[in-house]
Amino acid sequence: MKNLKRILIAVAMIFAIGATTMNAQVKFGLKAGVAVNDLKFDESIISADNRAGFTGGAMLEVMLPIANLGFDISAMYVHRTGNIYENGTEKPANNRDYIEIPLNLKWKIGLPVVGKVVSPYIFTGPSVAFLTSKEEIENAYKNKKVDVAWNFGVGVQLINKIQIGASYGLGLTKAIETLSPNTIDAAGIEGKNRYWTITAAYLF
C-alpha cells in the first residue's frame, strides 16, 4: 500500500512538473454523481444487490499541449451501499463511506469544426479509497480501511466547461471480509468492489 501511494505521488509530481514547463492548461472543477456498487465475493453462498450511492468533490485537470493528453486527479466523498445475502437470507445493508482519490490519464479526442463545443474523451487510472465509516458490521463482517481499484471510463466535454463521464471501477483489493470464521459457510468470505460511476463536472 505504501508503494502504491508513492507511485501515485510520483506520477502526480511528474505531470505537475510537465504542466509548469510545457504551458499546460490547468482547470479546477466541482464534480458530483451516482455510484452503483456491486460486491463480488469469493464464495457462491454470498451475493449482493446493486445499490445506487452518491459521490461529490473537487477535481484538478491538467492537459498538456501534446496530442490532447493530460490527467485529472480528484478528491471525492463516496457513499456506497449494498444488500448482502447469505444462504438466501438478507443481511443488514452494508453502507460504506469513503474519501476516494482517483488519478486518471486522459485523452481528449479532437473533432474538427465542433471540437470546441463537443469533445469526447477516454481515461484510465488507479484509485485509492479510504474508509471513513465504521468497520464492523453486525459483529460478522468488516469493511477494510483502504480499497484500491483501477478505473476505465469514457466521457464528453461540452463548451470547454462541462464534463459528463461514466467509468467502471475494478476492485484490486478486498473491500469486505468476515471478522472470524464462525461458521463453515462463512469461512474465508471476502468481497471486492465492482462499481459504475456516472458524474457531471463543471470546470472553472
The CATH code of the domain that includes 136 is: 2.40.160.20
What's the CA gap between 28 and 100, in Å, rounded? 17
pLDDT digits (tens, 9 = 90+) for 18-54: 555 557 789 999 999 998 877 665 544 444 555 678 9
In the numeric block, the cell 448482502 is attached to 84
Whether residue 66 has pLDDT greater than 90: no
Looking at residue 42, what DSSP letter applies?
Answer: S
Q: What is the mean pLDDT of residues 117-131?
A: 95
pLDDT digits (tens, 9 = 90+) for 72-108: 999 999 998 766 666 656 666 677 899 999 999 999 9
Question: What is the count of structural domains for the chain?
Answer: 1
pTM: 0.78
What's the CA gap between 186 and 188, in Å, rounded? 6
Q: Which domain holds residue 15?
A: 2-203
* Count of CA atoms in the C-beta half-sphere (13 A) of 121: 28
